[in-house]
Amino acid sequence: MGGGPHARRISFGGLSGPHARDLLLLVAVVFVTFSMQFLPGLAFVPELMRLSSSVWQQGMLWQLVTYPAAGWGGPSIWFLLGLLIFYMFANDLRWSLGKRRFWNLLWMSAGAAALVACVVQVLLQSAGATGTTAFVLMQGQQMLLAIVIAGFALTRGNATIMLFFVLPIRAKWFIWIEIAFAWIGLLASGDFAGFLGICSAIGAVFVLLRPGRAKGLRREMRLRYERWYVKQKLNRGRRRFRVVPGGKKPKDEDDRVRRGPWVN
């Protein structure tokens, strides 16, 4: 993989190796926009960046790609911890993939997730579910975390990560762990669009980092569908016929049929 001369000597942790200035800038933007939401006169800036129904109602299409950079949540130590965890994963992934591939992964995955979430929310509103909370699970650093953790799990699946700094777990299992966290968030908030947005971002990361594997999965799914379709078609054809013994004397007049193996 790419990543320049420092890529080989980076170890997971993101704090002991070289630091990418573009990544530090992203962390700074997330922190600044997070702070703006509590400052009178500046709260409109993160609001304009966050994903909302204004995408399809007012044409604010930039929100499809700006929402991950708008810090989200209340003033809590958990925000700083989440930002630190994001940087630890992102810095390692940034040097492993290289600058261009890393940023393409971020904005393409976030954009695909936003499109899916918006379509789902439009369908929910069309069905009358206007009271549901939308997009809270995927705003700001939450989406960034989902993308870089999935990317790290796919590129370094055999690495051991200390979950909650206590439990040693292989990195490849973190994809399922973050989906489980998103599911718990769905149960707590009712944000179905946000949940599918997180899942779509993970799927986009898989497609971008494992294009050959994704193509193989699509081919396998297509073949399975074709086999199922042919089987159903054959079953429908069989129900149109019944088998009767040919050449035998019928038990009564009602059972009398012409000789032959098939009768339509």
Structure confidence at residue 252 (pLDDT): 53
The alpha carbon of residue 91 and the mean position of all alpha carbons in its chain are separated, in whole angstroms, by 21
End-to-end CA distance of the chain: 64
Q: Is the pLDDT of residue 50 over 60?
A: yes
108 or 2: which carries more pLDDT confidence?
108
How confident is the model over 252-260, as a mean pLDDT?
A: 53
* pLDDT tens column, 87-110: 989 998 998 898 899 999 999 999
CATH for 11-205 is: 1.20.1540
* pLDDT tens column, 219-228: 555 666 667 6
* Tokens coding 256: 């009398």
* pLDDT tens column, 117-156: 999 999 998 887 766 678 999 999 999 999 999 999 998 8
Q: Is the pLDDT of residue 241 over 60?
A: no
Give the predicted TM-score (pTM) of the model.
0.73
* pLDDT tens column, 51-86: 999 999 999 999 999 999 999 998 889 899 999 989
Share of the chain above pLDDT 90, in %: 50
Every domain of the chain and the residues it spans: 11-205
Q: Given pLDDT bands bounded at 50, 70 and 90, which one contains residue 20?
A: confident
**pLDDT averaged over every residue in the chain:** 81
The alpha carbon of residue 116 and the mean position of all alpha carbons in its chain are separated, in whole angstroms, by 10
Give 131-166 as a DSSP string: TS--STTSSTHHHHHHHHHHHHHHHSTT-EEEETTT
How confident is the model over 16-41, as a mean pLDDT?
A: 90
> Is the Cα torsion angle 182, 210, 156, 104 positive or negative in sign?
negative
* Tokens coding 55: 């995408």
Structure confidence at residue 46 (pLDDT): 94
